[in-house]
Chain A
Amino acid sequence: MMDDLAALKTALRPPAPDAAAKEAAIRLAMENFDRLQGSDAALRPTQDRPKRAGFLNGVRAMIQAFNSRPVLAATTSVAALCLGLVVILPLTGQGPVSRAPLAVQPPKAETAAPQTARKVAPDAVAPVQTDTVIAEIQMEETATVAEAPMPTLAAPKAAPVSELSGMVADSPAPAPDSTESFANAPANPVKITAEEPISTFSIDIDKASYAVVRSSLNTGFLPDPASVRVEEIVNYFPYAYPAPEAGQAFRPAVAVMPTPWNPDTRLVRIALQGASVSVENRPALNLVFLIDTSGSMDEPNKLPLLKQSLALMLDQLHAQDQVAIVAYAGSAGQVLAPTFASDRATIMASLDRLGAGGSTAGAEGLALAYQVAESMAAEGEVSRVLLATDGDFNVGLADPEALKDYVAAKRQTGVYLSVLGFGRGNLDDATMQALAQNGNGTAAYIDTLSEARKVLVDQVAGALYPIADNVKIQVEWNPAQVAEYRLIGYETRSLRREDFNNDKVDAGEIGAGTAVTALYEITAPDSPALRNDPLRYGTAAAVKGSDELGFLRLRSVAPGETVSSLQETPIMAGGAVDDDARFAAAVAGFGQLLTGATYLGDWGWDQAIELALSARGEDAFGYRIEAVNLMRLAKALSAP
């Protein structure tokens, strides 16, 4: 329908302004200007204020607008701006009367201005290339903040991006600038077994990071390295691990294989497969959908996608399950009282009525959702609050720490919280992550309907039925076999050694039928790949005689109980290396390539793609080939 748009555009061409009106308006403007100056002058102490102070102030404000980092680069442009100042000085010296002829200047000369005039600022700073561009973008950003009193400027920070990519089109596209925040920590370093033989972390079945990465790549940007959590990328993919024996909540599976990116080290894969519950006999579910209906949700990939996603999920529920809906925006309210899932029409109708508007009172909504969930709870039932949001918790209990504590306290009542993230722009991944971790739930990011199907249909049991809480992994490495080791990913989940046995310290949950994978890169004592030189004065000689690479300890708490149980397995070299293990290694490499690839050497995109392709296996849902295509995209985007 470009024709109609073109017609509209033509019709929008404004008529020439009336010359008399223009003159009158400008006269009025000048009168008001003079009046303002007059009153201002009376207010200001004039003695320490030279007549041209306005110039200096303006320049100072401009210089202050540059951040400290690009200041050096910006110096030239400031010089250029000063040059501009010198040029206009004679102009300002003339009285207002002499400018009068301008008032009848033919408007036609100026009508071409919109294009040229808008480019004025870039031109002024043209002498310095990329760095100045950055400085300019930062100016833009501070501008949006400084203009904050204007109510219409809620979150326009993503705006400068297209400009930037237009101006520096040749360099790799940086991630879109926005108000998003991500939970991350520096990559785990290589540890020396003799100094620190024990590695402790909480398991994690979140997958949000992969979806965020995918959404970035699909829109043509390399993801912000802070948004990449390697373990979540590895755990995104289903792997066919052996099922636990009857009566066991989960089963560990260990495999050792050569490291794809380093011939002199080995990768140890530790996998935990959770038991699946039979869908027919599962306990009744009480679900409270806590839905963010703030103004920021008013985008096609937010509220509408959310509605579709929840509709998909409804089909998975049993007749005896109950659903309630709480919406929160400027105020929180119960949209749907607890309703049996068999009454699909009522639930769908209230979902459809949801509309976006207002700011986000997340905390208030959360309190109400818990209240509703508690009212629904009955013996033997599972209660969950499913928070669906774009992560904009900007009103109410805004302190993330307080929010976390609140959620953690509520988890004691047996109501768990899972978080579904939608849309990009102000996705507060860090808060999402913190809430889900403290609420014993999972965080997922939903960018497409097929992702919604994966999270809410295929894996709904895992997301909703915990089979083991507080699952912690501790690996003790044998210094005789392993001189150095490095845990890949799990940076945000590391635990202190003593926390392993402390049941008060919270850790991740395993849901029904889900699997968790962790990868270590280990280096043997005689390997040329050792990164640390031996100490001159030596350490106690490692005890020889054991073939074990290390020892795996697992602690977990059965749902509803408080005391943990321990499972132990030695880690032995050998074991079959299957496609699952190799694919996990490939995507772990993918994640590391996105975050700087400190330990990968020459191993790059081509190798990652090749390995992932060769390890595709059956891939019935196409998740793995999708990852390969994302790697190809990332390769293209990161090409110099």
Chain B
Amino acid sequence: MGTPDEILANAAAGGDRAAFAVLVQRHYDRVFGLAYRLTGARAEAQDLTQDICAALPAKLQHWRGEARFTTWLYRVVVNAAHDRRRRQATHVRAATGWGDWEIARQDEITVQAEAQDWLAQAMARLSVELRDTVALVLGEEMTQADAGTILGVSEGTIAWRMSEVKKRLRAMAAEEAK
């Protein structure tokens, strides 16, 4: 692995264009991955990632080099996803919730794999908080402590949320079995 992120970020914050280019290159996929997990849709994730890329130079001005860059970046992504959700809440399509329009969209596409459908249904059962937690803990394979740092809640809350997720999934499985 080349130069550590932190050093690149410090340089970029100080105006180093090449350092910034390397950073964005290096982390685009990671940001996209988390964005996908948070939004549950490819197109959404793409838009969100683009927004984040666009805002990143300004955001970097607040970079103080005191946390790991990835932790900082995850926080930026989670906050951006929250902002986006809030904006979407005013849209009609989002008013009924993530699941409905997602399922509708899936129907339009129709060729999507069954797993996708199951994911949408499973995620639709979960509240926004639980989805964020799932995205970080399961998706990004983060420790509960790290996820807590990024979401701004305690480790205990993350543990509790994951047990909630299990509970919901169990309920879903029980329904399917009927």
Which residues does A use to contact B, with CB under 8 Å? 1, 4-5, 7-15, 17-18, 21-22, 24-26, 28-30, 32-37, 40-41, 52-59, 61-62, 65, 81, 84-85, 87-88, 91-96, 99, 102-103, 105, 107, 110-111, 113-118, 120-121, 123-124, 139-140, 142-144, 146-147, 149-156, 158-163, 296, 298-301, 423-425
27 contacts between A and B (CB under 8 A): A11-B115, A14-B33, A15-B36, A25-B53, A28-B53, A29-B24, A41-B15, A53-B14, A54-B11, A55-B14, A55-B16, A58-B7, A58-B9, A59-B10, A96-B21, A99-B21, A121-B6, A124-B4, A124-B6, A143-B64, A144-B149, A147-B75, A150-B75, A154-B153, A162-B144, A163-B145, A425-B156
Is B67 located at the chain interface by the 8 A CB criterion? yes
Chain A residue nearest to B163 (CB atoms) is A300
Distance A155 CA – B157 CA, assembled complex (angstroms): 11
CA distance A54 to B57 in the complex (A): 14
**Is B17 in contact with A84, judged by CB distance below 8 angstroms?**
no
Q: Is the CB of B134 within 8 A of A120?
A: no
- B5-A156 in contact (CB<8A): no
A residues in contact with B72, CB < 8 Å: 143, 147
Asked whether A62 and B6 contact (CB < 8 A) given A14-B33, A110-B29, A117-B26, the answer is: yes
Q: Is B94 engaged at the interface, CB distance under 8 Å to the other chain? A: no
A117 CA / B53 CA spacing, docked (Å): 19
B46 partner residues in chain A, CB cutoff 8 A: 17-18, 21, 25
- Asked if A120 meets B1 with Cβ closer than 8 Å, knowing A156-B152, A158-B148, the reply is yes
CA distance A84 to B11 in the complex (A): 12
**Pairwise interchain contact B155-A162, C-beta atoms closer than 8 A:** yes
Task: State the Cβ distance, B88 to closest chain A Cβ, in Å.
Answer: 18
Which residues of the other chain, A, contact B1 by a CB distance below 8 angstroms?
116-117, 120
Give the top 3 A-B pairs by smallest Cβ distance, nearest first.
A54-B14, A58-B10, A143-B67
The answer, among A32, A52, A95, A114, for a CB contact under 8 Å with B33, is A114
A33 and B14 contacting across the interface, CB-CB below 8 Å:
no
The answer to whether B29 touches A17, judged by C-beta atoms less than 8 angstroms apart, is: yes
Tally B residues with Cβ within 8 Å of A: 91
Given A14-B33, A15-B36: A154 touches B152 (CB 8 Å cut-off): yes
Tell me whether B50 and A96 are in contact (CB under 8 A).
Answer: no
A residues in contact with B54, CB < 8 Å: 25, 28-29, 32
Known contacts A21-B50, A117-B5, A159-B148; A299 and B156 CB within 8 A of each other: yes
Give the contacts of B37-70 with A (CB-CB under 8 A): 37, 42, 45-46, 49-50, 53-58, 61-62, 64-70
B28 vs chain A, min Cβ distance (A)? 5
Rounded to whole Å, the gap between the CB of B120 and the closest CB of chain A is: 9
Residue of A nearest to B7 (CB): A84
Q: Is the CB of B70 within 8 A of A156?
A: no
B101 to chain A, nearest CB (A): 18
Within 8 A of A (CB), among B111-159: 115-116, 118-119, 122, 134-135, 138-141, 143-146, 148-157
Decide yes or no: A114 and B30 within 8 Å by CB, A5-B166, A36-B57, A152-B151 being known contacts: yes
Q: Is the CB of A55 within 8 A of B36?
A: no
Name the A residues within 8 Å of B17 (CB-CB): 30, 33-34, 37, 96
The smallest beta-carbon distance between A293 and chain B, in angstroms, is 15
Question: Do A161 and B170 contact each other (CB < 8 Å), given the known contacts A102-B21, A143-B64?
Answer: no
Residues of A within 8 A of B61 (CB): 36
Residues 67-123 of B contacting A (Cβ, < 8 Å): 67-72, 75, 78-79, 82, 115-116, 118-119, 122
Are B166 and A4 within 8 A (Cβ)? yes
With contact pairs A111-B29, A161-B145 given, residues A5 and B65 touching in the complex (Cβ less than 8 Å): no
The smallest beta-carbon distance between A93 and chain B, in angstroms, is 8
When chains A and B are docked, how far (Å) is the Cα of A612 from the Cα of B169? Answer: 47
Q: Which residues of B contact A94 (CB under 8 A)?
A: 18
Instruction: Add 5 more A-B contacts to A147-B64, A153-B75 (CB < 8 A).
Output: A4-B122, A40-B15, A88-B3, A94-B18, A139-B66
The reply to whether B139 and A12 form a contact with Cβ atoms under 8 Å apart is: yes
Q: How far, in angstroms, from A483 to B119 measured CA to CA in the complex?
A: 76
CB closest chain-A residue, reference B74: A118
The answer to whether B169 and A5 have CB atoms under 8 Å apart is: yes
Given contacts A81-B7, A160-B145, A25 and B28 within 8 Å (CB-CB): yes
Contacting pair B65 A58 (CB below 8 A): yes
Verify A120–B170 contact, CB threshold 8 A.
no
